[in-house]
């Protein structure tokens, strides 16, 4: 097992990768809990109303931190986000609100250079709400909405 792992690292180095740099980058990345505190203090407090701050803080403390708080922000995948959303299907309104908060958090993280890619980059999460159709396509098919019963 260790030999296979060593061979993989050597192969990566030969191809131009920097495993030590990757390890250092991962260690420097904040956890979701740390980033949530910075996000609330440096972004939400300055750019949002007090009521929005309260809702963001509530979503972060009640739903995001218990699920992702100890994970590094660069380790969160789309599958993780979908899993969180699915675990909240009994409260669909809050599930979609929490997705919105996560989306803004990852957009701000990208802007601040904390992570270069994230689970929301170039993806459309639908969950319990109706997706917007791609440009140039109608939401309606044959006079009916998508998913409408016959």
Q: Determine the average pLDDT of the residues in 32-41.
A: 96
Query: Could you tell me the pLDDT band of residue 95, with boundaries at 50, 70 and 90?
Result: very high
Looking at the predicted structure, is the pLDDT value of residue 111 above 70? yes
Q: Which residue ranges make up each domain of the chain?
A: 28-116
Looking at the predicted structure, is the pLDDT value of residue 71 above 90? yes
Looking at the predicted structure, is the pLDDT value of residue 109 above 60? yes
Exposed/middle/buried for 61, CB within 10 Å: 0-12, 13-18, 19+? middle
Is residue 32 within 8 A of residue 76, CB to CB? The reply is: yes
Range scoring the smallest mean pLDDT among 13-22, 87-96, 137-146: 137-146
Looking at the predicted structure, is the pLDDT value of residue 137 above 80? no
Task: Look up the pTM and report it.
Answer: 0.68
Q: pLDDT at position 21, please?
A: 62
In words, the CATH class of domain 28-116 is: mainly alpha
Q: pLDDT at position 142, please?
A: 53
CA distance 59 to 70: 16
Q: Cα 5 vs. chain centroid, distance in angstroms?
A: 29
| 28 or 139, which is more confident | 28
Q: Determine the average pLDDT of the residues in 126-144.
A: 51
Range scoring the smallest mean pLDDT among 46-50, 67-71, 92-96, 121-125: 121-125
């Amino acid at each position: 097992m260790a030999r296979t792992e060593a061979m993989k690292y050597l192969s990566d180095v030969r191809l131009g990768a920097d495993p030590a740099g990757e390890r250092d980058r991962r260690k420097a990345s904040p956890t979701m809990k740390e980033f949530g505190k910075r996000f609330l203090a440096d972004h939400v407090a300055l750019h949002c109303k007090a009521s929005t701050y309260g809702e963001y803080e509530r979503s972060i403390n009640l739903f995001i931190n218990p699920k992702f708080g100890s994970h590094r922000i660069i380790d969160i995948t789309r599958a993780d986000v979908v899993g969180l959303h699915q675990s909240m299907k009994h409260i669909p309104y809050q599930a979609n609100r929490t997705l919105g908060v996560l989306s803004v958090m990852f957009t701000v993280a990208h802007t601040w250079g904390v992570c270069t890619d994230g689970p929301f980059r170039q993806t459309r999460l639908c969950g319990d709400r109706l997706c917007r159709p791609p440009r140039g396509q109608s939401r309606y098919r044959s006079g009916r909405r998508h998913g409408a019963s016959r």
